[in-house]
Amino acid sequence: MSEGDAADNDADPVRAVAQGTFDLIHPGHVHYLREAASVADELHVIVARDPNVTHKESPVLPARQRRDVVDAIDAVAEAHLGHESDIFVPIERIDPDVIVLGYDQHHDEEAVQAALDERGIDCEVTRAGPREPKYDDELLSTGRIIDRILERRG
């Protein structure tokens, strides 16, 4: 092993953070997490707590259950519950090199970057690409899954 190889082994792993509600995991979630994992050595996922989900209907599943399901996905090094009042607390603790937003998440990349800069958190913000349906009736949205359940069983 050369000196350069030894130095590479001592380097901190590149960490990425993905975040979301992750209610009723579907193929779109898996695509997002795999894509986020592909840019780093470790993928940490922050699962939103119920009170922080204000941009859509409240989650069906409890936050801890959603976290446990996300944590079981192979691409994920560790899943964390979000902070009750300050979404940047877990980001400060994880100290990521990159935050990967979902392709359809409501967050504004520039606003997230500005908030990170203001807090002295040095990381890049990027956005994952979309996952196209692989067949006609594939559902890539929790809302659409719930609508289908209500149609068929409601």
Q: Tell me the binding residues for ATP.
A: 21-22, 26-29, 104
Q: Token pair of 90, please? A: 């877990």
Question: Which residues does 6 contact at the CB level (< 8 Å), separation at least 6?
Answer: none
Closest among 93, 69, 84, 79 to 19, alpha carbons compared: 79
Residue 73 sits at φ, ψ, to 5 deg, of: -75, 130
Cα 36 to Cα 49: distance, rounded to the nearest angstrom: 21
Centroid of chain to Cα 133:
20
Find residue 41's DSSP bridge partners.
none
Cα 86 to Cα 151: distance, rounded to the nearest angstrom: 37
Residue list for the binding site: 21-22, 26-29, 104
Cα 48 to Cα 70: distance, rounded to the nearest angstrom: 12
